[in-house]
A and B are shown apart, each in its own frame.
Chain A
Amino acid sequence: MKPLIEARHVSKRFTRPPDLAAKMAALLGGKARHEVVHALDNVSLGLAEGEVLGLVGESGSGKSTLGRILAGIWEASDGEVLFEGERRDDLGSGDRRKADLAVQMVFQDPMSSLNPRMRIADIIGEAPLFHGIVPKSQLAAYVADLMERVGLDPSFADRFPHQFSGGQRTRVGIARALAVKPRVIVADEAVASLDVSIQAQIINLFMQLRAEFGLAYLFISHDLGVVRHLADRVAILYLGRVVEIAPADELFQNPGHPYTQALLANMPKLETGKHAFAPLQGEIPSPLNPPTGCHFHPRCPFAMERCTTAVPVLQETARGRRSACHLNDHP
């Protein structure tokens, strides 16, 4: 299937000025200098119409960065984003705007992404009014309809964000995204900070909206249980690189990449009974100074000589499955 939106060889570098703690250490004789972080390194993946792609990875692996680049909020340092097969940067201003509106984000902490001084009706109604999606005369009805669809009482339209609970604020964030009639939603840890019972309500809402509007989702989460429930396909990131991408049912049944295997083994499960934990050893290395070759080699139980020098290429291992590991060549 032709992807609706696609990242091709996308890299993103950040130059990071020394933080406060590093400056303080510098006063005490340490070093403080600008550092370059490779947040994304040559990432290629696509999202088809109506598809849910789960994006999984540990902290700092580049999930949010990729989400923001696909949503057009940030520019890639290298590589390109294609919308309906066309390079987004080559689009004329009208088409570019259409492409940007088609991809909307929903954030983890709606409190920091909602303007605290704006009423809910304005938060939801601002963009569709600005972009001429609804005329002013019909705006109130349009907002009320959206609020109803995401499970908010339309009589709350005059309230401010702080008057809502975390789950309700997530609903406001979803209504705001839906207001510009997107085709793709990038949900960045959208259910992470919610309690189990509220999380179930929001996950159900995401599924219902997908069925109603044929939306595609890039569903970013570190919660493998949630991703397994929602996603058609899953991509696993490690230190800025895609290490495996596969249909969700296959990936969870039969993880191919050693890192995916480790993640699944470490995933907290509702075991019946206390048991000894056998965790994956070692820390996630610093993205400022990632290991050579395969980034995972210092923690990988199968690491070979080659893994320390050569970067494994993401290659097809079965129909619809790709993984980046030297074991693919030496089974």
Chain B
Amino acid sequence: MTAALQVSNLETHFFTRAGVVKAVDGVSFSIARGEVLGLVGESGSGKTLTALSILGLVDPPGKIVAGSIRLGDEELTGLSERSWRAIRGKRIAMIFQDPMMTLNPVLRIETQMIEAVLAHAVMSKDNARQRCREALARVGIPSPDERLTAYPHQFSGGMRQRVAIAIALLHSPDVLIADEPTTALDVTIQAQIVAEVQKLAAATGTAILWVTHDLAVVSGLSDRLAVMYAGRIVEEGPTTEVLARPAHPYTQGLLRSLPVNNQRGRRLNQIPGSTPSLLRLPPGCPFAPRCEARQEDCVSTRPPESQHGTERRLRCFHPLGEVSP
């Protein structure tokens, strides 16, 4: 079966005056129909740019310089802006941390939603309105008829994010890209939204890329987990296994530094040092300066992607054994 989305050796670079920033530097993954892939990593690791690349939304001085993005059987890199517009919002949809990136503050919800329906479907305005009403009800918005005539500012942050999700799912997209969609929301609202998205995607078979820096959220939501560091995926595999038996020293370091994995009141395990500048990456493994498992080869050669067991991919010369976090 072909994957819903297949990204191979993607490179997205920024050509700045200070030099070339390799924000995405050889990223590969695929997501099957109905599957959720979690993408985690610290800020600046390239998660958002991976997402934007898939959406064809990288602006200059940024550019996709290599690799392939396949939506089903169709190659997306190199498409014209016109072809992109026919795909975006229909076959690939997105939700962002700030729902106002998708919502227009001066238009009624109804106006924006009907426009989103008619952009990709031929039908009467009344039918389109009916479709919007159903979409709002599906994401748990009470009395959708009244809500349709409201403006975005009359909604809470959680409600706005629900509207953004309703719009994203209007055309039952093949792929949904979600970039930190619940980060700004309170715990109880976050749990509601995760539950809605989970249900809806299961019903339509939509493949989801869920970008976050919160391991706890993604652990209960995703089937597989990819960990990004300095522009690359350093570990990828089934969520349960990666969390229970991390093989990359960075993944292990992240898990060990979480308060829940430490005894209450004790000093937390911490990864020493900080994220490297993408302008001045060391020649070998980018994690080497902070890595406890580092050996001589790590400093001189970049670890290539390798298969680890049957279901895990890694970029590390000295993977960890069967140790728990």
Query: What is the interface of chain A, defined by CB distance below 8 A to chain B?
Result: 19, 21-22, 24-25, 58-59, 165-167, 195-201, 203-204, 207-208, 222, 224-226, 228-230, 248-249, 262-263, 266-281, 283-284
Contacts and interface: CB of A to CB of B under 8 A. Distances in A.
Interface in B154-183: 154, 156-159
Nearest to A271: B220
A197 B272 CA distance: 8
A59 B182 CA distance: 13
Contact of B213 (A195, A277, A280): A195
Contacts of B264: 228-229, 248-249
Given A204-B268, A228-B264, A229-B259, A279 B254 contact: no
B270 A197 contact: yes
Given A196-B258, A274-B222, A274-B239, A268 B214 contact: yes
Nearest to A278: B195
Contacts of A200: 257-258, 268-271
A197 B262 contact: no
Contact of B244 (A201, A248, A272): A272
A195 B206 CA distance: 29
Given A204-B270, A268-B220, 11 more contacts: A24-B106, A25-B154, A196-B254, A200-B271, A203-B268, A204-B268, A229-B268, A249-B264, A267-B216, A269-B220, A269-B260
B2 interface: no
Given A24-B106, A266-B188, A280-B188, A197 B216 contact: no
27 contacts: A21-B153, A24-B105, A59-B186, A165-B274, A167-B274, A196-B213, A196-B215, A200-B257, A200-B258, A200-B268, A201-B270, A204-B268, A204-B270, A224-B187, A225-B258, A229-B259, A266-B187, A268-B219, A269-B219, A269-B260, A272-B240, A273-B220, A274-B36, A274-B222, A274-B223, A274-B239, A279-B194
A225 B257 CA distance: 12
B43 A277 contact: no
Given A197-B42, A279-B188, A283-B189, A225 B216 contact: yes
Given A58-B186, A58-B187, A269-B260, A277 B195 contact: yes
Contacts of A273: 220, 239-240
Most buried by B among A196, A199, A230: A196
B9 interface: no
B187 A268 contact: yes
Contacts of A270: 215-216, 219, 243, 255, 258, 260-261
Contacts of B258: 196, 200, 225, 270
A21 B198 CA distance: 32
A277 B105 contact: no
A201 B139 CA distance: 39
Contact of B186 (A22, A165, A284): A284
B115 to A, nearest CB: 19
Nearest to B221: A274
Contacts of A21: 105, 151, 153
Contacts of A276: 195, 198
Q: How many of chain B's residues touch chain A, expressed as a range?
A: 35 or more
Contacts of A198: 42, 274
A283 B156 contact: yes
A207 B267 contact: yes
A195 B214 CA distance: 9
B30 interface: no
B187 A25 contact: no
B270 A279 contact: no
A283 B220 contact: no
B192 interface: yes
B153 A268 contact: no
Contact of A283 (B105, B159, B194): B159
Q: Which 6 residue pairs are nearest across A and B when measured between Cβ atoms? A: A21-B153, A268-B216, A279-B191, A200-B257, A277-B195, A229-B259
B321 interface: no
B265 interface: yes
A230 B157 CA distance: 29
A308 to B, nearest CB: 19
B190 interface: yes
A104 B190 CA distance: 32
Contacts of B262: 229
Given A196-B254, A268-B214, A275 B220 contact: yes
Contacts of B157: 59
Nearest to A280: B188
Contacts of B215: 196, 270
B26 interface: no
Nearest to B254: A196
Nearest to B199: A276
Given A198-B274, A270-B260, A273-B239, A204 B267 contact: yes
A230 B257 contact: no
B253 interface: yes
A207 B270 CA distance: 14
B76 interface: no
Contacts of B153: 19, 21-22, 24-25
B187 A274 contact: no
B278 interface: no
B21 interface: no
